[in-house]
Each structure stands twice: as structure tokens, then as C-alpha cells.
Amino acid sequence: MKHLAEYRDAAIARGLLREIERLATRPWTIMEVCGGQTHSIIRTGIDQVLPAGLELVHGPGCPVCVTPLELIDKAVAIAARPGVVFCSFGDMLRVPGSAKDLFQAKSEGADVRVVYSPLDALRLARENPGREVVFFAVGFETTAPANAMAVKVARRDGIANFSLLVSHVLVPPAIEAILRAPGNRVQAFLAAGHVCTVMGYRQYVPIAERHRVPIVVAGFEPVDLLDGIRRAVAQLEHGEARVENAYARAVTRDGNLAARKLLGEVFEVTDRNWRGIGLIPASGWRLAPGYRDFDAESRFDVGALSVGESPLCRSGEVLQGAIKPTDCPAFGKECTPRTPLGATMVSSEGACAAYYNYRRRAVAPDPD
């Protein structure tokens, strides 16, 4: 990854930080939309070194987080059917449905496989004509072209034992929904570089104009992100609201035309439920009528599933900055990294886990 070294250069990063410090005269709240950007920000600690008052809010761009519960339940139910090979990207296996996750379905005998591409799932379907191979097609505009390609090839080659369980979601409607919500705090967005690599950034221009909000297309390396933040702060400070492309090495205004044409052929826009958010109109893709035969939801009628979200902890308020992890009554008692009640206690990205690990002696003395 030598070509990435300059985008990780600590000296360049520190230079950008100094410029952000110089530019920012007031507090601002910026949302990075994509889960990949969130991951990179937490991994490198960018959120810790920004000037006080400049707040990064994590966006809804994590497909694992927003895939609706009922679809996870459907995935588990389909995977459990005899004769089915259920294929998924790895990190969906650990996402809990109402009662269980795909790992557990696997331990109970379901044939659940981790693949790295929908084309691997298609290959499995070719090699196992007697089995029904289902691919869990989740994600944003980024993962959609490969899924579209898999189903297009399946139809061309007559691979009838292949299908997709589709839960594609789209970024622009989510940004609009955030901006329209009463009490919205987000003043600028870092748009997701990979999504824009496929789709371009023209869709964001009317959003920036309509809502008077800067939208900066940003990449994923520390220097990319800091440059995106710098440009967003500069626009905010100057009262501007434009779409800016800080990821020009990958993103053009119109995106990948071949991919967009394919997406337009295979998918059509539909309403989608977002886990933790609710229904957003015209915010997702489903298979277009010409490809409906490959829709796993209609192929496998798993019946009415009773869906139940587990009771929530106060991680929402923690993430919002409304309370500190230590203010939560469950912190360090019922809720620890070993027995987490909320996502914030689970991962390295979680505020509660960080608090717990740093201050465990103070809050929860070890039994010994």
C-alpha cells in the first residue's frame, strides 16, 4: 500500500490539524456519514486531536447497524431451511436478530458461509446445482454493483438456484432525513468517498442547496479525513454551503457510469426500514421486476416472523454527549465489556468501553 503512505503521513496530518485549529473560531458539528470513515477516525484518534468544540457525529453509514431486524430474522430463517447454502459478508454473521445470529444458526446445522464477493456465492450455486444458494445483499451504493453483476450473470447463465436477500440502502435520502428531523444538530457532512466513487456527487448538489449545508466528499485515510474536515470548517466559517470533492483521486461528478447503468437495470428504488431509525421513503433498492425471480424473500416464504428488539441501554445519550458513561446506572455493574448492554461497551469505538477500561478500578473494583 505504498501509494497510501502520503495519506497517512503524520507530518501532513499535523499540518492539516493546525490549519483546522486556525480556521475554527466557533463550535461546529460535522457528521461523517460512512461507517468506514468512523472506523478510521476512531482507529487513528482524529476525534481526540480536533480543537475543542469541533464535534464529529457518527452517521448511519454502517450497513451492519442499519440492516433491519426483520431482515436478520429472515436471513436466519432462510439459512435454517434444508438445502440452502446461505452466503454473507463476514461481519453480518454476528449481528443479532430477535433471538439469534447467523453464527448460532450455523452451530445448529445451517450451512452458513462467509464469502468475499457475491460472485463467490454465484460460483457455489454453479457448483451445487442441487442446493439453493442465497446471498445476503446488504450495504450501500458501494456494494450494490457487484451484487447487481452477480444476479445479472445468474440470469444470463440460467443459474436458477441462486438468489439475493436484498437490503440495499442509499445515502442521499438518509442525509435528507437527518436534515429534516426536528432538532437536527448536524451542520456539515463528510460524504462517503466509496459511495461517491460509484454514484458521483451530483445527487448531493440539490441537498446542499436546499438545506444550506456544506457536503464534502472525503476519503478514508487520516489525511483524507482531515482535509475533508478542514474544507467543511472553512465553508462553515465563511457561511458557504457547497458540495466539494476532497477525494478527487477516486470520485468524479458522475461516478462510474457503467456501474450506474447496471444498477439502474437490476434494481429499483423502494422504501426501506433502517434499524434504529425507522422507515425512510425511497431510501433503498430492491430487485427490479425483470430480476424478481432472484429475490430470496419471495422465493422462500418464511412466513410472518415475530420481531422484537431487545431493551435499549442509554448508549444513545452517551453517544450524543448528553450523559457521560459513568452517569449510566448500569455502567460497570450490569454493563461491562464482558457483559455489554450497549454497543458503546462492545467495541474499541465505544465510549463506555474506553471509559471502563481506563477507569475500571475506580468504578468496579475487581473482586480480588
Partner 1 sequence: MAKNLDPGKWSCPLPLRSYPNVVLGHGSGGQLTADLIQQLFLPAFRNSALEALGDAAVVAAAGLRLAFSTDAYVVRPLVFPGGSLGELAVNGTINDLAVAGARPLFLSAAFLVEEGFPIEQLARLVQRMAAAAREAGVEIVTGDTKVVDKGHGDGCYITTAGIGLVSEGVQLGPQRIEPGDAVILSGPIGDHGIAVLSVREGLEFGARIESDTAALHTLVETILETPGAVRFMRDPTRGGVAAALNEVAAAAGKGIVLEEEKIPVRAEVEAACELLGLDPLTVANEGKLLAVVDPAAAPAILERMRAHPLGRDAQVIGRITAEHPGAVTLRTSIGAARVIPMPVGELLPRIC
Q: Which of residues 223-282 bind partner 1 (CB under 8 A)?
A: 274-281
Q: Is 89 in the site for partner 1 (CB under 8 A)?
A: yes
Candidate residues 108, 157, 237, 334; the one interacting with partner 1 per rule CB under 8 A: 108
Q: Give the list of residues 6+ apart from residue 249 with CB closer than 8 angstroms, or none.
A: 219
Q: How far is the CB of 53 from partner 1 (least distance, A)?
A: 17
Q: Is 44 in the site for partner 1 (CB under 8 A)?
A: yes
Candidate residues 96, 160, 240, 293; the one interacting with partner 1 per rule CB under 8 A: 96
Q: What whole-number distance in Å separates Cα of residue 209 and Cα of residue 102?
A: 43
Closest CA to 345 of 318, 310, 308, 309: 318
10 Å CB burial of residue 293 (0-12, 13-18, 19+) is: middle
Closest CA to 266 of 168, 124, 127: 168
Please identify, among the stretches 8-16, 201-209, 236-244, 262-270, the one whose residues bind partner 1 according to the rule CB under 8 A: 8-16
Q: Which set of grid coordinates corresponds to residue 303?
A: 412466513
Q: How far is the CB of 121 from partner 1 (least distance, A)?
A: 13
Candidate residues 306, 310, 311, 367; the one interacting with partner 1 per rule CB under 8 A: 310
Candidate residues 94, 202, 249, 324; the one interacting with partner 1 per rule CB under 8 A: 94
Closest CA to 94 of 60, 124, 121, 65: 65
Q: What whole-number distance in Å separates Cα of residue 331 and Cα of residue 203?
A: 42
Q: How far is the CB of 346 from partner 1 (least distance, A)?
A: 6
Residue placing its CB nearer to partner 1 in the complex, 116 or 304 = 116
Residues between 111 and 170 with contacts to partner 1, criterion CB under 8 A = 114, 116, 138-140, 142-143
Q: Is 15 in the site for partner 1 (CB under 8 A)?
A: no
Locate the DSSP E strands across the chain: 28-34, 54-61, 84-88, 111-114, 132-139, 162-169, 188-192, 215-218, 243-245, 267-274, 278-287
Q: What whole-number distance in Å separates Cα of residue 122 and Cα of residue 209?
A: 42
Residues between 53 and 72 with contacts to partner 1, criterion CB under 8 A = 57-66, 69
Candidate residues 18, 22, 25, 45; the one interacting with partner 1 per rule CB under 8 A: 45
Residue placing its CB nearer to partner 1 in the complex, 106 or 231 = 106
- Angle of CA points 349, 353, 359, to nearest 5°: 135
For 106, 112, 298, 304, the CA distances from 301, given in Å and listed in that order, are: 20, 19, 6, 9
Name the β-bridge partners of 189.
31, 215
Residue placing its CB nearer to partner 1 in the complex, 257 or 322 = 322
The site string for partner 1 over 183-222 (x = CB under 8 A, - otherwise) reads: xxxx-------x---------------------------x
Residue placing its CB nearer to partner 1 in the complex, 47 or 268 = 47
Candidate residues 154, 178, 215, 233; the one interacting with partner 1 per rule CB under 8 A: 178
Please identify, among the stretches 32-40, 197-205, 248-256, 258-266, the one whose residues bind partner 1 according to the rule CB under 8 A: 32-40
